[in-house]
Amino acid sequence: MILINGQTESRIEVLDRGLQYGDGLFETLAYRNNKIEFLEQHLQRLQTDSQRLNISLSESGLTKIHQELDFVCQNLQDEAVIKLIVTRGVGGRGYFAGQDLSPTRIISSHTLPSYPQHFPQSGITVRFCQHRLSESAILAGIKHLNRLDQVLGRNEWTDKTIAEGLMFDQHDNLIEGTMSNIFLVNSGNLLTPKLNLSGVAGVIRATIIRLASENGLTVIEQTLSKTDLIEANEVFVCNSVNGIWPVNNIIDTQQSYSVGSITQQCQSWLSQAIK
């Protein structure tokens, strides 16, 4: 099912700025056990990001998003991924948008991706992407629609035994996976890349940082390199659909990690937070 501004519809205006310029934002939501997981956190992030891009998402717009998500969920038979896109709207002249545009709301539901069910327990194999993430202090962290970096990174491999590709920035700093954020464990501390120049500041990343800190773990956001990966005791990636996947193997360095206790602890905290 696809809703555009509340109407069942599968197509949008060509002149929508989401298509013309990638001028918009999105959220990827997991619908399981009859609810959207971390909905308020996703909508809070959407609001923050829309302010950063000067997209005028109003209170009434947010209310409509709530109603439309409810409607989509009522029509779901099963677990699903729900993608919410908000664009700056239709029109404007060239890059200039003006203040009068009304944001477009696009909500679509999709079947959950069919990854092996054992990934969260037994872990995954990852590779390094050759494609390097763009660097921009202003756009870093925002879940915007300019996602060519992720497209090019993800399309480097077809081997289904590789579950994720790790991405680096223009200066070879480790940033994230193509569809996930990344954490390392070293000396009992949780490390995750600073996202001040690249990357998407994911809702699950923020949740893990919060839960780990509340539970007394030291969490450090810092610049991380391949060396930090090599020296790590545990590595895991996370996103809203898949939760936490431990990393077992990195193809490029032939390095192996076991599924460690801190990774399992984070999985447990995350599960409890969803309930």
Binding site for a second copy (CB under 8 A): 2, 4, 9-23, 53-54, 85, 88, 93-98, 106, 108, 113, 131-139, 144-155, 158, 170, 178-179, 197
The SS3 of residue 218 is coil
User: Minimum CB separation from a second copy for residue 177, in Å?
Assistant: 10
| 273: its two tokens | 């937070």
Cα angle 262-164-188, degrees, rounded to a multiple of 5: 15
Cα of 178 vs its chain's centroid, Å: 9
Q: Which is nearer to a second copy, 137 or 214 (CB)?
A: 137
CB atoms within 10 A of CB 29: 24
Report the alpha-carbon distance of residue 245 to residue 177 in Å, rounded. Answer: 11
| 11: its two tokens | 């197509």
In the block, which residue shows the tokens 């993608």?
Answer: 83
User: Minimum CB separation from a second copy for residue 233, in Å?
Assistant: 29
Q: Which is nearer to a second copy, 100 or 214 (CB)?
A: 100
The SS3 of residue 261 is helix
Q: Which is nearer to a second copy, 15 or 230 (CB)?
A: 15
User: Minimum CB separation from a second copy for residue 203, in Å?
Assistant: 17
Q: Which is nearer to a second copy, 105 or 205 (CB)?
A: 105
User: Minimum CB separation from a second copy for residue 131, in Å?
Assistant: 6
Q: Which is nearer to a second copy, 10 or 187 (CB)?
A: 10
User: Minimum CB separation from a second copy for residue 128, in Å?
Assistant: 15
Looking from the CA of 236 toward its CB, the CA atoms found within 13 Å total 28
**Residues in Cβ contact with 46 at an 8 Å cutoff, skipping those fewer than 6 apart:** 25, 27, 57, 65, 84, 86, 143
User: Minimum CB separation from a second copy for residue 46, in Å?
Assistant: 16
**Residues in Cβ contact with 147 at an 8 Å cutoff, skipping those fewer than 6 apart:** 22
Report the alpha-carbon distance of residue 85 to residue 188 in Å, rounded. Answer: 38
Q: Which is nearer to a second copy, 140 or 262 (CB)?
A: 140
Rounded to the nearest 10 degrees, the angle between the axes of helix 203-214 and helix 39-52 is 120
